[in-house]
Amino acid sequence: MIPFSPPRIDERIINEVADALRSGWITTGPKTKLFEKKIANYCNVSNVLAVNSWTTGAELLLYWFGIKEGDEVIVPVYTYCASANIVIHRGAKVIMVDVTSDFGIDISKIEKHITSKTKAIIPVDVGGLPVQFDELTALVNKPKIKDKFNPQSENQEKLGRIMILSDAAHSFGAKYNGLNVGSEVDFTVFSFHAVKNLTTAEGGAICINLPKPFDNTEIYKQLNTLSLHGQNKDALAKTQKGSWEYDVIDAGFKCNMTDILASIGLVEFDRYELDTLPKRKHIFDTYSKELYKYDWAITPTCKDEKRESSYHLYLLRIKGITLEIRNQIIQDVFEQEVSVNVHYKPLPLLSYYKLLGYEINNYPNAKSLWENEISLPVYYDLSVENVNAIIKAVVNAVESNI
């Protein structure tokens, strides 16, 4: 069976992890701090905080911004549940917005959902294609929208508008206006979960990019403290002579990255731009070149004047099929020993959100994307033979069902 997305674990990774273990320092320490610096440099921001998942990092930011019960946060309907669950964890309300045909939030539909309760927008770079950040930034800065903003915490007062927290779980290394994403909006959060382009097994990173009068280095310190229970000294600092005593200044989270995870990340990072990304792009290009020949295939957008994908998920769509046929095609592809997947089942189709009253028919684009989408395997060790076998299996399965 050709798997969907196994991680690239080789001797280099194993040796680096062994090095972390042997060093005697296994929690947050020098490797994590080096990893943060490398990501900050790559993403054109002054400060990056490494955390133990996208989910905890993003929730920490909602907490930092003072989001609470009674607030509203705008989230695209077509995403992984994490983008919305963090809002629920904070007691706030998820306001879902439909998406466009490239899977990103439909920015033209956001404004009508903004109220005086709106505190944040969480756009998602689905599959690795960045959303149109310029349009989003222009939207939250519109005088009419800023006037509606009703700040209820010190940080909300200071920002003076809706916060944009980019769910970049898929888009590490994607380009926007020629730069690696990370410096477009207030916060950009990556995921380094096992299936992601760059993995640390579990993990994530927050790019801090707040406008003035915020001091991003100061915000890094605040978030770092909040990621360690609000404890004002980390484990490394406490080992220094005479530094055992610490204080707790907030009921913080516990979501720091460990040096064992960072050691995987450092190897992954080193080979990311020149090895991992070109390989993934090549797989995408081969799929598109071959599938483009069939008039039933809608191949994913990977590049336009402003944006280039990180080539994370190959989101193939089959023209004009029903959900039943899509499911049968998936079954038939699996029968040919190829694993495929679907990204995503829109949130209103999931029991928890359905029970809260969200209704899929209010999001026609998401419904139609979901009904005809199939994600194909993309990973570093996928051979040319495997890519050809996958294409053959998909073509067979589609042509025998439409």
Only segment of 49-57, 249-257, 328-336, 386-394 that touches ligand PLP (CB under 6 A) = 49-57
- Which lies closer to ligand PLP via its Cβ, residue 161 or residue 193? 193
Near ligand PLP by CB under 6 A: residue from 77, 169, 298, 378: 169
261 scored as a contact of ligand PLP (CB under 6 A)? no
79 scored as a contact of ligand PLP (CB under 6 A)? yes
82 scored as a contact of ligand PLP (CB under 6 A)? yes
55 scored as a contact of ligand PLP (CB under 6 A)? yes
> What's the rounded Cα separation, in Å, for the pair 61 and 74?
15
For 172, 179, 225, 288, the CA distances from 309, given in Å and listed in that order, are: 9, 12, 33, 14
State in angstroms the smallest separation of the CB of 360 from ligand PLP.
19
- Which lies closer to ligand PLP via its Cβ, residue 189 or residue 208? 189
216 scored as a contact of ligand PLP (CB under 6 A)? no
Near ligand PLP by CB under 6 A: residue from 119, 193, 317, 326: 193
133 scored as a contact of ligand PLP (CB under 6 A)? no
- Which lies closer to ligand PLP via its Cβ, residue 28 or residue 197? 197
Question: Among 362, 335, 364, 359, which residue's Cα sits nearest to residue 348?
Answer: 359
Cβ contacts of residue 47 below 8 Å, gap of 6+?
36, 40, 207, 208, 216, 217, 219, 220
375 scored as a contact of ligand PLP (CB under 6 A)? no
127 scored as a contact of ligand PLP (CB under 6 A)? no
> What's the rounded Cα separation, in Å, for the pair 364 and 29?
48
199 scored as a contact of ligand PLP (CB under 6 A)? no
Near ligand PLP by CB under 6 A: residue from 28, 47, 83, 100: 83
312 scored as a contact of ligand PLP (CB under 6 A)? no
Binding site for ligand PLP (CB under 6 A): 53-55, 79-80, 82-83, 124, 167, 169-170, 191, 193, 204
